[in-house]
Amino acid sequence: MSSYTFADYLTNNYITLVLLAALSLLMIVNRKMKLQGLRYYWAMIAIVLGLTVAEAAEDIIDSYMLNYRLLYLKTAFVYWFYPLIAMLELFLIAPIKHKDFAAIPYMVSSALVFIDLFDTRMIYYFRSDHRYEGGPLSLLPSLVLCFYVVLLGVWSVLILKSGYRSKGVIALFMTATAVLTVIGESVGFARGLTEEITAIEILIYYFFLAAIDNSENREKLYNSRLELEKQRLRLLVVQMQPHFIFNALATIQSLCYTDSEAAADCIDVFGDYLRANINSLTSDEPIAFEAELEHCEQFIKLEKASRDVGFTVVYELGVRDFRVPPLTVQPIVENAIKHGALTRKDGTGVVKIMTAEQDGEIVITVTDNGKGAALTTKQKEHQSVGLENTRQRLEIQCGGSLGVELSDSGSRAVIRLPRSAAKGGQANVYDRS
């Protein structure tokens, strides 16, 4: 036999070494990932590498006809390592609580293999010409290996039945390849491929765990962002509630000094307003546009009751059967009245509320014929508070948008919402003075 060299070792184990190097590199690069059973991975990498060295040691011993006693040590390593890999794969996949008890067959087999180092010949021994001979318990290491493979198969079926299909399929694949490898080694069609197949198995399971970890992290990130947006939305709603309530109370207060009967009527309207809106004010869910329109009309009644200067509200509702976040149209109508229609002291102020469906979107437009671009800086700042809150709430709750245009002829605010319900009836144009 020719001399065995390091080049022979690389040639015989090239695929195994590349797979182990790839897995080690992945684990080092992704060391921040908290994957289940990482210690088992490092142990299996070391074991598979040790098996390649053990096989190379046998070739070296035979090549240089070294003392046959060295083959005892090599064989002991093989009989220790193969069942150990199967046991570690089981521990990696199956949620075994009492691992010490599950390891008893391996410990018994390993002890007998160790004893045979002293030529007890219970499991194996070698003759001086390097010929292997089996003892009365020669099948024990193989039986222990099969024991763990069978357990792995049983757990794979249980995992599949539990509904965790992806993990169950991977576990069954590892079981099937282990069985085929044992058969292939015995009959010769896959002899010498145990290390390569084992390396492939643990690499595949690592990718599986990494994919699961990535999926879980994405879900956690999504949930955390969703919760953050919900908290942000609640904060915005809380900010909006006092804004409207205080405005209504201020209106009623002003009437108390000038017209007590009108103030009493406004209190009734305000009570209706609170009863109709209390659920909307504390809800994160969109409401029917009809309900939001009623909110606007309650506000309009309060405004008309408290103003000496009149104004007109015109409705052109091309579509009505859709939902909007609560208190999104009303702040815009409020701005259109206070900073638009009411700036015309001759009573000719007009606010127009229009809805239409365009290109798969619901478009709500509120216009006025007020000062528009001629508003004072203070008026614009006051106006922007409610509009900015509304804009953020539209974006958070339904992916909507709000655009505002100021011109010499007034202001124009446009809400765009993704279409979420069936189209309503025909256009409804009417005047409520």
Asked whether the predicted pLDDT for residue 318 surpasses 70, the reply is yes
- Assigned domain for 206 exists: yes
Q: For residue 319, what are the CA distances in angstroms to 119, 322, 416, 421?
A: 94, 8, 13, 10
- Assigned domain for 301 exists: no
Q: What is the pLDDT of residue 258?
A: 80
Query: Any idea what the Cα angle at residue 84 is, between residues 211 and 152, rounded to 5°?
Result: 55
- Assigned domain for 31 exists: yes
| 328 and 204 part of one domain | no
Q: For residue 180, what are the CA distances in angstroms to 50, 89, 187, 190, 408?
A: 22, 16, 10, 8, 84
- Assigned domain for 197 exists: yes
Q: What is the pLDDT of residue 98?
A: 82
- Which residues are paired to 323 by β-bridges? 288
Q: What is the pLDDT of residue 312?
A: 92
pLDDT (tens digit per residue) in 168-189: 777 777 777 777 776 766 666 6
- Assigned domain for 300 exists: no
Q: What is the pLDDT of residue 375?
A: 59
Asked whether the predicted pLDDT for residue 317 surpasses 90, the reply is yes
279 pLDDT band (50/70/90 cuts)? low
Mean pLDDT of 368-393: 70
User: What's the domain count of the chain?
Assistant: 2
| 182 and 33 part of one domain | yes
Burial class from Cβ neighbours inside 10 Å (0-12, 13-18, 19+) for residue 208 reads middle
How long a stretch of residues is the chain? 433
Q: What is the pLDDT of residue 299?
A: 82
The secondary structure element, H or E, covering residue 353 is strand 349-358
b/e code 388-426 from CB counts within 10 Å (16+ = b):
ebbbebbebbbebebebebeeebbbbbbbbeeeeeebee
- Comparing 146 with 351, the larger pLDDT belongs to 351
What is the residue range of 173's domain?
A: 6-220
- Which residues are paired to 413 by β-bridges? 366, 404
Domain-ending residue, one of 220, 239, 269: 220
Q: For residue 425, what are the CA distances in angstroms to 66, 318, 319, 322, 421?
A: 97, 7, 6, 12, 12
Q: What is the pLDDT of residue 421?
A: 47
What's the mean per-residue pLDDT of the chain? 79
| 194 and 55 part of one domain | yes
Asked whether the predicted pLDDT for residue 159 surpasses 50, the reply is yes
pLDDT (tens digit per residue) in 30-62: 777 767 677 888 888 888 888 888 888 888 888
| 214 and 85 part of one domain | yes
Percent of the chain with pLDDT over 90: 15
pLDDT (tens digit per residue) in 408-432: 888 999 999 988 643 444 444 434 4
Mean pLDDT of 78-92: 85
CATH of the domain at 184: 1.20.1070
338 pLDDT band (50/70/90 cuts)? confident
Greatest mean pLDDT among 182-191, 234-243, 369-378, 389-398 lies in 389-398
Domain-ending residue, one of 157, 189, 220: 220
191 pLDDT band (50/70/90 cuts)? low
CATH of the domain at 428: 3.30.565.10
- Assigned domain for 255 exists: no
Q: What is the pLDDT of residue 427?
A: 40
Mean pLDDT of 68-88: 87
| 214 and 319 part of one domain | no
Q: For residue 412, what are the CA distances in angstroms to 187, 264, 277, 315?
A: 84, 34, 26, 15
Q: Tell me how far apart the alpha carbons of residues 197 and 203 are, in angstroms, rounded to a whole number.
A: 10
Q: What is the pLDDT of residue 432?
A: 44
What would the two tokens of residue 145 be?
A: 């290996």
| 205 and 339 part of one domain | no
Q: Tell me how far apart the alpha carbons of residues 10 and 187 are, in angstroms, rounded to a whole number.
A: 25
- Assigned domain for 235 exists: no
Domain-ending residue, one of 186, 220, 254: 220
- Assigned domain for 426 exists: yes
| 95 and 213 part of one domain | yes
| 26 and 166 part of one domain | yes
Mean pLDDT of 185-204: 68
